[in-house]
Amino acid sequence: MLVHPQFDPVAIALGPLQVHWYGLMYVIGFLGFLIIGKMRSKEPNSVMNPDRVDDMMFWGAIGVVAGGRIGYMLFYNLKGLLSDPVSLFQIWDGGMSFHGGLLGVILAMFLLARRWKLNFFQVSDFVAPLVPIGLGAGRIGNFINGELWGRATDVPWGMVFPQVDNIARHPSQLYQAFLEGLVLFIVLNWFRKRSPPVGAISGLFLVGYGMARIIVEFVREPDAQLGYVAWGWVTQGQVLSVPMILLGVLFMWFAYKKAKA
């Protein structure tokens, strides 16, 4: 049985200035987006250029933070939001939603596509293979903070999170870092190099993330304020991921159908 190391959430402290590990993971995600995105923008026939990558990172970051916070309050803590609307801005208390952040990024991509006079999917297909960098880093940040732990288990790698209880639990943050980060990054970039039709990469991202999230949610402890939302085993994360998968399949179907026309 393993025990969570109880990392100090502060990575760097310079007097009153403190840099938290979780915030550092966001920085790693954004830097990874910039570095790899700019490399890809120089590929032949790319509709992007380094300046556009800068714009995508800037507006995408705003979409992630704003959408992630709003999504969390709407999807996971609506009761708290209604009782105290100011809590929406209390980001220091924690609470970010991937699905909300995704909607924020989609809005940013839509507006940028209009500005650049591009098809929305030309932008989203460029962005999608870069997103898993931030997803994986974010889940590592969750693990370092000792949050979003898994359900009780007797597997040999079960981990005790002392801040919760003395029960061995799935280190579900690491499962998500592996599936949503490393695996999804490899799959999307492999698929991208096969020159799929416009929209197919975006569709595969939705399907891949949705499936990974649903799988891990079976061993992840549901949010305390919500618990299970149906049948004693379905979580909010699974409910929000099902439409992603359906929409992703639809995107891929339309992409290949249009390519054959």
Position 9 pLDDT exceeds 80? yes
Q: Is 40 annotated as a binding residue?
A: no
Name the pTM for this structure: 0.90
What would the two tokens of residue 224 be? Answer: 């305390």
- 4 contacts 160 by C-beta, under 8 angstroms: yes
Residue 52 in this model has a pLDDT that exceeds 60: yes
Q: Tens of pLDDT along 168-206?
A: 999 999 999 999 999 999 999 999 999 999 999 999 999
Torsion 98-104-106-108 (CA) sign: negative
pLDDT attached to residue 72: 80
Q: Please give the average per-residue pLDDT across 81-92, as a whole number.
A: 70
Judge whether residue 78 has pLDDT over 90: no
CB contact at 8 A, 123 and 56? yes
Mean pLDDT of 2-18: 88
pLDDT at 22: 85
Q: In terms of residues, how long is the chain? A: 261
Listed residue (127, 114, 117) closest to 64, CA to CA: 127
Averaged pLDDT of the chain: 91
Higher pLDDT, 33 or 74: 33
Task: Give the distance from CA 190 to its chain's centroid.
Answer: 20
Does residue 153 have a pLDDT over 60? Answer: yes
Q: Where are the beta strands (DSSP E) in 161-261?
A: 168-169
Extended beta strands in 29-165, E state = 159-160
Q: Is the pLDDT confidence value at 70 over 90?
A: no
